[in-house]
Amino acid sequence: MADQSPSRRDLLKIASTAAGAAAGVGASAAARHAEAAEQRARARSRPAREPLTALTAHEADLLDRIAELLVPSDANGPGATEAMAVRYIDRALAGALADQRDAYRMGLEALERYARQTRGGPFLQLPETKQISLLIDVESGTATGANVGFTGSSAQFFGLVRGHVMQGTFGDPYYGGNEGFAGWDLLGYPGVRTTVTPTEQKLLSPPTRVRRSAYDSPMFNKAIVDTKPAGSDRDAD
């Protein structure tokens, strides 16, 4: 018989319901499904981590787990971990996003304090259902408490991390994420192309997949970050 347990993406959709259940069959079933799904996902081969440039090893581990929960591996294909989303974040924090390095440091420290205060242990040592319920708190802005220390609100930190995980999973692989085009495959995106055949234009057959970065084509320029203040290059009055 085929495995009828929900995928980990399905679990994320019902996470708020499971997190709110104090006891009962529903909560127990959700916990069993989560444990089984976690075991299946962790059985996948993971790409080796490269030397870090901005993050500490513990910060990278935390982000990798958060990324895994946001875009998990399941029957639909590899997720953010296999796409090396955290490699993208690490490289970006050492370069174009260097001004957000402190936001990551303080946010991850606050997340760990909140995990210890409200879930009884470090985030990485919690069972998956507690990790998900904690992230729901962070996303909703309710991760507060004595000396937790999120700057602004926990929701701002969640939005920051989620946005960068999505960029690292689905963006151009030139920037360090979307390893093996895992993110594009997950979306069914055929890749960057400069020409489209007549057959493809008529949608008579699936488009041919292009497995290369946009920057492999001379018509695309690599993004350059302008660090000058807005308006600084305007003529003076």
Distance CA 209, CA 12 (A): 30
**Quick one: average pLDDT of 186-196?**
76
Residue 97: pLDDT over 60? yes
CA dist 59 → 71, 86, 123 (Å): 18, 10, 11
pLDDT above 70 covers a percentage of the chain that reads 65
Task: Supply angle C-alpha 102, 107, 112, rounded to 5.
Answer: 130
Of 7-11, 189-193, 230-234, the range with the highest mean pLDDT is: 189-193
Copy the structure tokens of residue 54: 């901005």
pTM: 0.71
Residue 221: pLDDT over 70? no
> Total domain count for the chain?
1
Q: Can you name the residues that pair with 77 across neighbouring β-strands?
A: 74
Please check whether residue 236 lies inside any domain of the structure: no
What residues make up the domain containing 72?
A: 8-19+30-39+47-190
Please check whether residue 79 lies inside any domain of the structure: yes
Of 17-21, 104-108, 204-208, the range with the highest mean pLDDT is: 104-108
Please check whether residue 232 lies inside any domain of the structure: no
Distance CA 123, CA 50 (A): 23
* Residue that the structure tokens 């989303």 belong to: 85
Residue pair 33/5 in contact by the 8 Å Cβ criterion: yes
For residue range 111-120, list pLDDT tens digits in order.
Answer: 999 999 999 9
Please check whether residue 199 lies inside any domain of the structure: no
Please check whether residue 195 lies inside any domain of the structure: no
Please check whether residue 164 lies inside any domain of the structure: yes
For residue range 45-74, list pLDDT tens digits in order.
Answer: 567 788 999 999 999 999 999 999 999 988
Please check whether residue 202 lies inside any domain of the structure: no
Please check whether residue 3 lies inside any domain of the structure: no
Question: In residues, how long is the chain?
Answer: 237
